[in-house]
Amino acid sequence: MARREVIVMEDDLDGSTAEETITISIGPNTYQLDLSKKNADKFRKVVAPYVGAARKSPASGRSRSKRRSREHMGASPQTIRAWASAHGLEVSSRGRIPAHVIEQFEADGN
C-alpha cells in the first residue's frame, strides 16, 4: 500500500491553514510568507499601488552573485585572478571566482 505525506502549511500571520507561499524582495533581502487566501488577498491589496508604480526587474529570478559576476565582465577572469594573486588572495586557476574576491576587485577601483 502506498503512503502519501500530507503537508499542511500554517499561515504565518494568524495560524490558520495557508494556501500559498508568497515570495517578496526588498533591497537585497528575499522573504517568503505562507498565507491563507484571505491574508494573501489582503497583502496583494496593500502592495497593489506600489506594484502598479514599479517596473519589473530585469534580474528577476537571478541570484545576486550571478548578477554581480555578470556586472564585472568588463574585466576578464584572468585579470581578476592576477589581481587577486598580487593582493595575496587565494583563487583557483579554474572555475567560479568567489563573490568576495570580485567585491574586493571592484572596491579597488577596477
With respect to residue 97, please indicate whether it lies within any of the assigned structural domains: yes
3-class SS at 66?
helix
- Indicate whether 41 pLDDT > 70: yes
Please indicate, yes or no, whether residues 44 and 3 belong to a single structural domain of this protein.
yes
Residue for grid cell 574586493:
104
Closest CA to 23 of 38, 10, 35: 35
pLDDT of residue 108: 81
pLDDT tens profile 49-108:
998 998 887 765 545 445 454 444 567 888 888 998 898 888 888 888 888 888 888 888
Domain boundary among 17, 35, 54: 54
pLDDT band at 13 (very low <50, low <70, confident <90, very high): very high
Helices 77-86/99-107 angle, 10° precision: 80
The CATH number of the domain holding residue 29 is 3.30.60.230
pLDDT of residue 72: 46
With respect to residue 79, please indicate whether it lies within any of the assigned structural domains: yes
With respect to residue 59, please indicate whether it lies within any of the assigned structural domains: no
- C-alpha cell at position 16: 490558520
92 or 6, higher pLDDT: 92
